[in-house]
Amino acid sequence: MELPLKGILFIAATLSLTTTVAHAGDPIVGNWKTELGDTAAIGPCGGGYCITLKSGKHAGKQIGTFSGKDGSYSGKITDPDANKTYDGSLTVSGGALTMKGCVLKVICESQTWPRL
């Protein structure tokens, strides 16, 4: 049985919407206030999530890429002032995101960002 073009387009649109809805419901998606008081937006990108600064002196700069789900994520985080990238992990619990960046998994620093 062959699907007409309309049927194929409907299925493709439905799959696309389902993927978007799944990401939108993930606890990491949204706007967060950094320790410096800037706004960081986290949204779906490339099968994972990207962190982009929306305010402050580095507004528009992407500072992280993470993958994961259900409140636990791993990936890379960039310090925009030093322009250095570190291995990182994120956890989301309630209205708080805790980020940890490490050098060689030995020297680590953490920050907690509240949801805006």
pLDDT digits (tens, 9 = 90+) for 17-47: 333 333 456 889 999 999 999 999 999 999 9
The CATH code of the domain that includes 37 is 2.40.128.520
pLDDT at 11 (0 to 100): 40
pLDDT at 1 (0 to 100): 43
- Mean pLDDT, range 85-99, rounded to an integer: 95
- Mean pLDDT, range 50-76, rounded to an integer: 96
The domain total for the chain is 1
pTM of the model: 0.77
pLDDT at 114 (0 to 100): 98
5 pLDDT higher than 60: no
Range of the domain at 97: 5-114
User: In the structure encoding, which two tokens stand for residue 19, read together?
Assistant: 């993927």
